[in-house]
Amino acid sequence: MGFHLQLIFALLSLAAVALANHAAQPAPQLYWNSVLPNTQMPRAISELLHPDSTNEEKSKPENIPLALIFYNKRYDHPTDNQLHYKNVAIFFLEKDMRPGATTNFQFPRNSNTAAFLSRESAQSIPFSSNKLSEIFNHFSVKPTSVEAKTIKQTIEECEAPGVKGEEKYCATSLESMVDFSTSKLRTRNVQAISTEVLEKGATMSMHKYTTMPGLKKLAGDKVVVCHKQNYPYAVFYCHAIKPIAAYVLSLKGDDGVKVKAVAICHLDTSEWNPMHLAFQILKVKPGKIPICHFLPTDHIVWVPNHKSA
């Protein structure tokens, strides 16, 4: 009898620990585990799930590096500041992703580390250019401040119509990002991958990187890319564009740091602005020549997982 009681108490203790761990997980984490049980969460997402950081009242948007802004405005006419990046491999040709190729690059991280809110919390806060005054009041932001300008720009970019062939959506929660991505890929058996600097404490300054053997093309032409925006809580600009290809490369910097880099290649640029910075860097014209770029460390690419679930 005593043995049976000990066994029962042991099982109850294990169950209590499991419930405590379950309760400690934020709602977005629980949703991911429920909908995507076979998908490994990339670092770009897991770093934004700290329960003690989800109080949006404590977080305000910061200035974002120009390089990251440019990734979200691929079709804009280049500004004078953007032209300073002409000597950096922001863009490259698909054929250049070969072992031994070198490139000068910086893998910056968005200085805005605002965490995910639960979908319920995010939906309770206005996200519309018609509600800017309410948004500013909610976050205690002065309408004339830099923070207010950043909030306004992010919302306007989210509300702008997509370019030809683009299906876009701004996800204000991890749950909505999962739903949008899986709906466009038409499967919940997916991979979610982000660029990762593999050494802890590595500097994020400019370095020369060498492409190592092991180039991997991700599944098919169904690709959703989500770009982190500058906002008081985690918002991602997600879009599905065709035709497109995604790759994972192994890079090694001249400082010895290794990077698992995600690259996106746009296979048809005929609709791009002829003055686009990519054409000036690569000395090519709009058309069918694939133009590629790396994704920063806080962006995510979603593709179908052809491996068995």
The residues, ordered by sequence, that sit 6+ positions from 195 with a Cβ below 8 Å of its Cβ are 44, 107, 259, 260, 261, 262, 294, 295, 296, 297, 299
23: CB partners within 8 A, 6+ apart: none
Reported as a pLDDT band with limits 50, 70 and 90, residue 16 is very low
* Average predicted confidence (pLDDT) for the chain: 79
Q: How far is CA 249 from CA 126, 169, 252, in A?
A: 39, 27, 10
| Section 187-213 average pLDDT | 85
Question: Model confidence at 50, in pLDDT bands (50, 70, 90)?
Answer: low
Residue 99, number of CB atoms within 10 A of its CB: 12
Average pLDDT over residues 170-190: 96
Q: Which residues of 126-139 are buried (b: 16+ CB within 10 A; e: fewer)?
A: ebeeeebeebbeeb
pLDDT digit string, tens, across residues 273-287: 888 888 888 999 998
pLDDT of residue 141: 95
Whole-angstrom Cα distance, residue 152 to residue 165?
Answer: 25
- The amino acid at 19: L
State both tokens at 84.
């300073």
- Please choose, from the candidates 126, 122, 143, the residue with its C-alpha nearest in 3D space to the C-alpha of residue 134: 126
Percent of the chain with pLDDT over 70: 74
Give residue 65's pLDDT band: very low, low, confident or very high (50, 70, 90).
Answer: very low
Residue linked to tokens 């190592």: 212
Q: Quick count: other Cβ atoms within 10 Å of Cβ 286?
A: 16
